[in-house]
Amino acid sequence: MDNLKIGFIGGGAIAEAILSGIIKAGLVPARNINVAEIIESRRAYLQTTYNIEAQGEGNIVGSSVDVLFLTVKPQVVHGILKSIYKSVKKDTLIISVVAGLTLESLQRYFSEQPVIRVMPNTPVAVGEGMAAIAMGQYATEDDKKIALEIFDSVGKAVVLSESAMDAVTGLSGSGPGYAFVIIDALADAGVKMGLTRDVSITLAAQTMLGAAKMVLETGKHPAELRDMVTSPGGTTIAGIYELEKSAVRSALIDAVESATNKSKSMGKKNG
């Protein structure tokens, strides 16, 4: 990959997280990355921080790269695509992280060109993101390998059919929001029990991080790991009983379902 030239249309937080991951992982040198961003101060920040190229015009970036990321807001993407698609090289791989933008819609702009749709989440900013990748009909195994290498550099990535993308959005796309609510609630509980706020937040966040790593690194089912720390008549089962009594499990399932349905409605509007 080190000879590839990679471009971004949009220089916001997700673009920064992805490009920083690419640079840190050594996938391509910083000089091979070019970002189109309309805000001058943001361009200057990205250039200074990462030693990359930054332009004000998307056409310049689109015409000169091998892989082009679409990292803009859903409400502006169609206008941007209409202004740049003719200038993009015909063999450029298009990777979209735009919520609700379907492969079919992308293919209308880039006919017979490799396109990939990705749903990442915000922890890509700290190298612990989760991304689901859906392949367009002209995307090859080499294209898939490129996408996987890039998103593995900022966390983990899986390849799924596009039909799963709304559920992915409801679970991992929106999931950090649910986790932040849980961490905040646990921290409140710590404060109620006499701990300081900063200590409570650290205890709650590190506990969630550690539990997640145990699931990923042991390969054990979460229920099995739960049973390992739940002694008969002990403290953990007392706490879990209260969670079950308050229907926390059902609330989380309902949250994912609601977010999935919202994603579906956004797709109909923006796709």
Position 149 pLDDT exceeds 80: yes
Tokens (6 digits) for 51:
């030693």
Tell me the average pLDDT across 228-248.
96
Q: In this predicted model, what pLDDT tens digit does every residue of 23-79 receive, in sequence order?
A: 988 899 999 999 999 999 999 999 999 999 998 877 777 888 999 999 998 889 999
What percent of the chain is modeled with pLDDT above 90? 80
For the whole model, what pTM was predicted?
0.87
Domain 173-267 class in CATH: mainly alpha
Q: In this predicted model, what pLDDT tens digit does every residue of 214-229 receive, in sequence order?
A: 999 999 999 999 999 9
> At the fourth CATH level, which superfamily is domain 6-165?
NAD(P)-binding Rossmann-like Domain (3.40.50.720)
Confidence of residue 270 (pLDDT cuts 50, 70, 90): low
Number of neighbouring beta carbons within 10 Å of residue 258: 12
Q: In this predicted model, what pLDDT tens digit does every residue of 103-144 receive, in sequence order?
A: 999 999 999 899 999 999 989 888 899 999 999 999 999 999
263, 100 Cβ separation under 8 angstroms: yes
Q: CA angle, 214 as apex, 211 and 220 as ends, to 5°?
A: 120
| CATH 3.40.50.720, the chain: domain bounds | 6-165
| Paired residues of 55 in beta bridges | 36
| CATH 1.10.3730.10, the chain: domain bounds | 173-267
Position 8 pLDDT exceeds 80: yes
Number of neighbouring beta carbons within 10 Å of residue 176: 15
Position 200 pLDDT exceeds 90: yes
Distance CA 96, CA 119 (A): 8
